[in-house]
């Protein structure tokens, strides 16, 4: 009579009882010592084992030679079941983990046993099924676990990729900052080098001027020379109208170049020429005036160089890691002077209201102004206007606003504008990695502030840099 068993334990009990009652079965019992090998991977299996007592370990050797511990089987489990049912060689190696007793059924005699012991049929069948379903369940679990692990691996892969990209960005930023630092060093070095000859130039030209101005000699030549020393250049339209007047008043002067030179001379000088025209040729006195004018030009140009050098030194203050109480407007003015040629063809409107000093690094902030101004120049190649404003916002904030009347920034671009490596400039940008605004943004943030970009109502873009007022 077939009896339904609840679990493996019950079946095992039943079989143990059956063994006690059957000599044949007792003959099939085999005792193994710990460490005995029941079968090896790759071998054909001759027996089907049913564990009665003890445990065995199943392991699988991989292609690379490493050993994979698979499972430990306990009493009530069949061992060698798969090979038994499929007739294939074993895919595992079975070694006892302790002293073990098992029923060893010879494969070809298995059916005989069951016929001889019919009451074993059902339990054995159930046991086999239970074993198979165990294995199946285990398989499902493993598949699920593998899937979860794969997903985890994938996620980690994505994280790694992101981390790598961030590292790349930081690296590039560092390289760009190194470049800027090197360039900054070169600029500062140049400024210092040029400073000395510029100072010498300025002093010498001023002294030369003073030297002549102090001369007590009261001759016409000296007088007219002195007038040249203080002359101011005239615009071309003024020269043109003056030339017409001179041509009328000095009809004996035939050379147009001389007429032009006379047109550039002040009334006093012309009086001297008139007075002496019988004794001293016009050309001689004009030449004297010119000599004075050239010295004046030298002095003016030297002053300009000296100012540029001063601004350059101030602009590129290399003490990067030292913060100081600064008036940001000084840096803005230095930057404008340095960039004056680039800004020349634009309408520049300055509205630098009073702002309190704050703690900051002037050299770094100058980079920010430079970056934004140069960007504005780039979008206005044929002219336009640029407004730079400073003002306080309450007691604790400073606002610097730079706005242009260019084409503005497309809405799709606005959110990406501070991203590193984002650029709308083509390959023509000589120094560009698309990092200018990213670095500027970082500089401002390190100062405790932030940059806001927006498009103006009536066209163009506006950069608002807010900085905190604080002590060093």
Q: In this structure, are residues 117 and 25 in contact, taking their beta carbons and an 8 Å threshold?
A: yes
H-type helices in 99-120, by residue range? 110-116
Query: Is residue 454 a contact partner of residue 462, using CB atoms and an 8 Å limit?
Result: yes
Distance CA 50, CA 29 (A): 9
Q: How far is the CB of 416 from another protein (least distance, A)?
A: 26
Site for another protein in 16-75 (CB under 8 A): none
Cα gap 436→368, rounded to integer Å: 8
Least distance (Å) from another protein to the CB of residue 438?
25
Query: If binding is defined by CB under 8 A, does position 301 make contact with another protein?
Result: yes
DSSP 64: T
Q: What single DSSP character describes residue 456?
A: -
Closest CA to 377 of 414, 339, 422, 411: 339
Task: Specify the residue, 156 or 255, whose C-beta has the smaller distance to another protein.
Answer: 255
Helix H or strand E segment including 149: helix 121-213
The span of 156-164, 305-313, 338-346, 440-448 binding another protein (CB under 8 A) equals 338-346
Shortest distance in whole angstroms from residue 309 CB to another protein: 18
Judged by CB under 8 A, which of 22, 117, 297, 455 binds another protein? Answer: 297
Could you give the string, one character per residue 449-468, with x where binding to another protein holds by CB under 8 A and - elsewhere?
A: --------------------
Give dist(CA 467, CA 397) in Å, integer.
6
Q: Closest by alpha carbon to 326, among 389, 401, 390, 374?
A: 390
Other CB atoms closer than 10 Å to residue 376's CB: what's the count?
Answer: 25
Q: Which residue in 95, 239, 359, 453 binds another protein (CB under 8 A)? A: 239
DSSP 8-state class, residue 234: P
- The Cα–Cα gap between 172 and 183 comes to 16
Judge whether 361 and 323 are in contact, CB under 8 Å: yes
Using CA atoms, how far apart are residues 312 and 325, in angstroms rounded to an integer?
A: 19
Strand 100-106 to 29-32 pairing: antiparallel
Cβ(1)–Cβ(14) under 8 Å? no
Nearer to another protein, 251 or 383 (CB): 383
Total residues in contact with another protein, by rule CB under 8 A:
21
DSSP run (H or E) holding 153: helix 121-213
Nearer to another protein, 145 or 256 (CB): 256
Q: How far is the CB of 342 from another protein (least distance, A)?
A: 8
Check residue 199 for interaction with another protein (CB under 8 A).
Answer: no
User: Using the rule CB under 8 A, which residue among 156, 178, 193, 255 binds another protein?
Assistant: 255
Q: How far apart are CA 324 and CA 310, in angstroms?
A: 19
Residue ranges in 274-293 that form contacts with another protein under rule CB under 8 A: none
Using CB under 8 A as the binding rule, whether residue 118 contacts another protein is answered as: no
Asked if 237 interacts with another protein (CB under 8 A), we say yes
Q: Which of residues 372-411 bind another protein (CB under 8 A)?
A: 382-383
- Using CB under 8 A as the binding rule, whether residue 240 contacts another protein is answered as yes
Under DSSP, the state recorded for 91 is S
- The region of 85-93, 217-225, 237-245, 266-274 touching another protein under the rule CB under 8 A is 237-245
- The Cα angle at residue 383 between residues 382 and 388, in degrees rounded to 5: 145
Q: How far is the CB of 394 from another protein (least distance, A)?
A: 37
Of the residues 395, 428, 457, 471, which one makes contact with another protein according to CB under 8 A: 428
Between residues 302 and 316, which has the closer beta carbon with respect to another protein?
Answer: 302
257 is a contact residue toward another protein (CB under 8 A): yes
Residue 429 CB, nearest distance to another protein (Å)? 12
Closer of 220 and 243 to another protein (Cβ): 243
Q: Given the complex with another protein, which of 103 and 380 has the nearer CB atom?
A: 380
Q: Which stretch binds another protein (CB under 8 A): 123-131, 189-197, 295-303, 358-366?
A: 295-303
Smallest CA-to-CA distance from 224 within 278, 290, 297, 281 is with 290
Structure tokens at 293: 């004018």
Which residues make up the interface to another protein (CB under 8 A)? Answer: 233-237, 239-240, 255-257, 260, 297, 300-301, 341-342, 344-345, 382-383, 428
């Amino acid at each position: 009579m077939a009896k339904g068993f609840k679990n493996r334990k019950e079946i095992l009990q039943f079989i143990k009882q059956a063994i006690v009652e059957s000599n044949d079965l007792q003959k099939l019992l085999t005792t193994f010592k710990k460490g005995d090998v029941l079968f090896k991977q790759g071998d054909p299996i001759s027996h089907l084992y049913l564990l009665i007592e003890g445990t065995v370990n199943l392991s699988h050797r991989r292609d690379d030679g490493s050993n994979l511990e698979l499972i430990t089987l306990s009493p009530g489990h069949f061992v060698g079941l798969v090979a038994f049912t499929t007739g294939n060689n074993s895919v595992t190696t079975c070694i006892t983990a302790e002293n073990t007793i098992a029923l060893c059924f010879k494969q070809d005699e298995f059916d005989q046993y069951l016929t001889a012991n019919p009451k074993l049929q059902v339990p054995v069948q159930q046991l086999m099924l239970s074993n198979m379903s165990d294995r199946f369940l285990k398989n499902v679990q493993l598949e699920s676990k593998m899937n979860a692990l794969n997903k985890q691996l994938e996620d980690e892969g994505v994280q790694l990729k992101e981390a790598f990209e961030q590292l790349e960005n930081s690296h590039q930023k560092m390289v760009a900052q190194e470049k800027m630092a090197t360039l900054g060093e070169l600029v500062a070095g140049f400024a210092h080098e040029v400073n000395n000859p510029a100072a010498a130039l300025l002093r010498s030209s001023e002294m030369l001027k003073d030297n002549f101005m102090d001369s007590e000699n009261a001759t016409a030549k000296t007088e007219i020379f002195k007038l040249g020393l203080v002359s101011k250049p005239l615009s071309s339209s003024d020269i043109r109208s003056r030339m017409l007047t001179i041509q009328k008043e000095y009809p004996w002067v035939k050379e147009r170049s001389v007429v032009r030179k006379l047109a550039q001379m002040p009334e006093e000088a012309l009086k001297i020429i008139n007075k002496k025209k019988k004794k001293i040729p016009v050309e001689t006195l004009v030449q004297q005036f010119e000599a004075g004018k050239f010295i004046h030009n030298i002095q003016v140009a030297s002053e300009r160089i000296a100012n540029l050098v001063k601004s350059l030194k101030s602009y590129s203050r290399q003490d990067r890691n030292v913060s100081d109480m600064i008036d940001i407007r000084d840096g803005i003015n230095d930057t404008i002077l340095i960039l004056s040629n680039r800004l020349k063809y634009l309408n520049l409107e300055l509205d630098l209201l009073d702002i309190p000093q704050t703690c900051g690094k002037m050299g770094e902030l100058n980079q920010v102004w430079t970056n934004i101004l140069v960007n504005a120049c780039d979008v206005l190649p044929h002219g336009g206007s640029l407004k730079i404003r400073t003002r306080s916002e309450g007691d604790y904030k400073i606002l610097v606003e730079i706005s242009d009347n260019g084409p503005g920034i497309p809405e799709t671009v606005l959110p990406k504008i501070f991203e590193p490596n984002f650029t709308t400039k083509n390959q023509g940008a000589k120094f560009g990695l698309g990092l200018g605004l990213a670095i500027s943004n970082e500089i401002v943030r390190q100062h405790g502030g932030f940059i806001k970009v927006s498009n103006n109502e009536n066209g163009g873009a506006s950069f608002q840099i807010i900085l905190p007022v604080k002590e060093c």
